[in-house]
A and B are shown apart, each in its own frame.
Chain A
């Protein structure tokens, strides 16, 4: 057992947990509910500036 492990293991776990939290945030904010749309939206030019999203999640209507 080296002292390094005492830091490295919590860091590794912390990074993993951070990723997990990010995944859950994305899941909750509905980012997995319209995958085809997300693939398309990247192609939209936002030259005309009027792409205001709805308040909250639009897909739970």
Chain B
């Protein structure tokens, strides 16, 4: 990502090397932000260009690494109110899969464009033929249609032919097999008709079929593309590089790929580690929630092992890198996740399951039509025409649209209500789930420490506390500031605010010194802050990770949907017990990532279909292995990437809403299949009787597609 561009430009006389960096800026939400970010960056020395990708909420910056480095770019943005972090991909395989997906999407769009052009132009020619053009004119028009249709079938049919061939080679069949056979046979038969100056050619039918089906494919792919952009925008939370201390003692920023075992990393407060390593200098307070899901920060001392992805909370530390790149624990987890995800890729989608019944029936009917007319001594030519008409008219135009249109409409509705759906099969799998596993930290709870109560603080203390807390980015301060803001507190006029790493905030208020710092925790594994105003006694504010609002109501709604729940957490027994008792749920505590994965495998072996709800990196393999999975948007980037759905906001009500919408989508999809069957029951006898002319085929195919689309639009309100 930060590699020099191919053919790096030389600018002016010096050998300036242009480097491209990508930063994720989740806070961009309007046109003004785009303009501001691009202008800010372009105005910096050493930056040659900056271009925002709004769908991805990211910016690509071409810059001279000698003049300005990535941390400086991040700082430039942060000083102007845009939180930014470098985008990192977990490994090269995920990155190239992304590129391949984007290329496939572009290929589908291009195929759709060609099919649209061809079907319109062939239709134009066909209308004259349907209106009674005969003789040489008709033959010329047929040849013209052929000249347009044959290249189109080759170009736009590729996605179907490739998929059908892939399935056939492995002895399987899918939706694309009957599509490919119908398109190829229809085109071949039409060419023969054209060459023998016959009255009917079905070029328009073949190309229109491709157009409708590609429409469905593009919708399906757009849904995944949108989610992919969302997911890669969220990849920023882990460090993409570190400040390395060189022999002369200077700290220079290097990308994660450039770190070697033995390098010494300087990790500032608030930064994440980019490699696994040993703490060689300084005492550290570490937030390792991304790895273990535990909310409490943990003290590390010299000589202890730290892992990539851990967040350094208090003071700057020095860490000697031990494991880098693919040897890091975080990369191991990513591999486990990918292996677990293979299970999901073997899932057979509902359209392909339908095709298993559909294909033999359709092909049998076509063969029957051919044999019937042969027996009736209509001749091989006439019999073959009937068979082609049966294949064309039964071809799953409506079936090919039934699933993607319904799923796109439903996922659009879910997106408006704050739920991001990764792909269509996620909705199918979610509708089938029959139980729920919930992680505790960050899933049932908010995953950020909040004050247990503000009762210990009087009016002035609240104002002072807010003024100090809002000036810090420490998780405890942020939690305190948030709940004070929610309580409507107005910050006091505190001046000379300063932050001492590892100690806390201090400032001057009405001539008195005020401090906000770490306090002695009241209970085991709890956290606390301490506020002192002037010479008065310090007030201790106990902090804890609280349950999400309406967690109980959301879980009750899930039970009403027939989904029993269980808690599985990496947290200690005590903390898990407390939450489990509050929510009356069975719980498993102290489960590491492998244990979570194992539990899901065991449940699957029992025939259960598990919906996993989790957020941490430690939930990654479980999220990938479960039948379907949901993560909150506050989840670690790994969690968001592994999950099928991501919900915004704090409310767990998103869970029952997603399940209801998925089930409703499944009902509409089945309704669409029923409509397609009814259509076929009417159309097939007509085709068998030999009454299906190209005009009848065109009208029948378009009207059946329109009916299916109209039925799917009912899902606009699915997420209510």
Q: Are B113 and A23 in contact (CB under 8 A)?
A: yes
B55 within 8 A of A: yes
B464 within 8 A of A: no
Residues of A within 8 A of B121 (CB): 12-13, 16
Residues of A within 8 A of B109 (CB): 27, 32
A43 within 8 A of B: yes
The 30 listed contacts between A and B (C-beta, < 8 Å) are: A1-B140, A13-B148, A16-B120, A19-B117, A23-B113, A27-B109, A27-B110, A27-B113, A34-B56, A36-B54, A40-B30, A40-B31, A40-B34, A41-B31, A42-B31, A44-B32, A50-B42, A50-B43, A51-B35, A52-B49, A53-B49, A53-B51, A54-B49, A55-B62, A58-B49, A58-B53, A59-B51, A59-B60, A61-B21, A61-B22
Give the 3 A-B residue pairs with the shortest CB-CB distance, closest first: A37-B54, A58-B51, A43-B31
> What is the chain B residue whose CB lies nearest that of A15?
B121
Total contacts A-B at CB 8 Å = 89
> What is the chain B residue whose CB lies nearest that of A23?
B113
Q: Are A37 and B34 in contact (CB under 8 A)?
A: yes
Residues of B within 8 A of A3 (CB): none
Residues of B within 8 A of A42 (CB): 31
Q: Are A1 and B137 in contact (CB under 8 A)?
A: yes
For B, the interface residue count at a CB cutoff of 8 angstroms equals 41
- Given contacts A35-B55, A44-B35, whether A61 and B49 have CB atoms under 8 Å apart is no
> What is the chain A residue whose CB lies nearest that of B29?
A40
- Interface size class of chain A, counting residues whose CB lies under 8 Å from the partner chain: 20 to 34
Residues of A within 8 A of B54 (CB): 34, 36-37, 40-41
Give the CA-CA distance A16 to B144 in the complex, in Å: 14
Identify whether the interface residues of B are mostly helix, strand, loop, or mixed: helix
Residues of A within 8 A of B21 (CB): 61
Residues of B within 8 A of A16 (CB): 117, 120-121
| Minimum Cβ distance to chain A for residue B23 (Å) | 11
Count chain B CB atoms within 10 A of each CB in A36, A37, A48, A61 and give the residue with the most: A61
Residues of A within 8 A of B106 (CB): 27, 32
- Given contacts A32-B109, A61-B1, whether A9 and B144 have CB atoms under 8 Å apart is yes
Binary per-residue interface labels of chain B (261-283) against chain A in the complex, 1 for a CB within 8 Å, 0 otherwise: 00000000000000000000000
* 16 additional contacts (CB under 8 A) given A20-B117, A33-B102, A37-B54: A9-B144, A12-B124, A13-B121, A16-B120, A17-B117, A20-B114, A24-B110, A34-B55, A35-B55, A37-B52, A37-B53, A40-B34, A41-B54, A44-B35, A48-B39, A54-B50
Give the CA-CA distance A9 to B21 in the complex, in Å: 50
Q: Are A58 and B34 in contact (CB under 8 A)?
A: no
B486 within 8 A of A: no
List residues of B (1-25) whose CB comes within 8 Å of A's CBs: 1, 9, 20-22
Give the CA-CA distance A42 to B30 in the complex, in Å: 11
| Minimum Cβ distance to chain B for residue A36 (Å) | 5
Q: Are B51 and A33 in contact (CB under 8 A)?
A: no
Residues of B within 8 A of A35 (CB): 55
Residues of A within 8 A of B144 (CB): 9
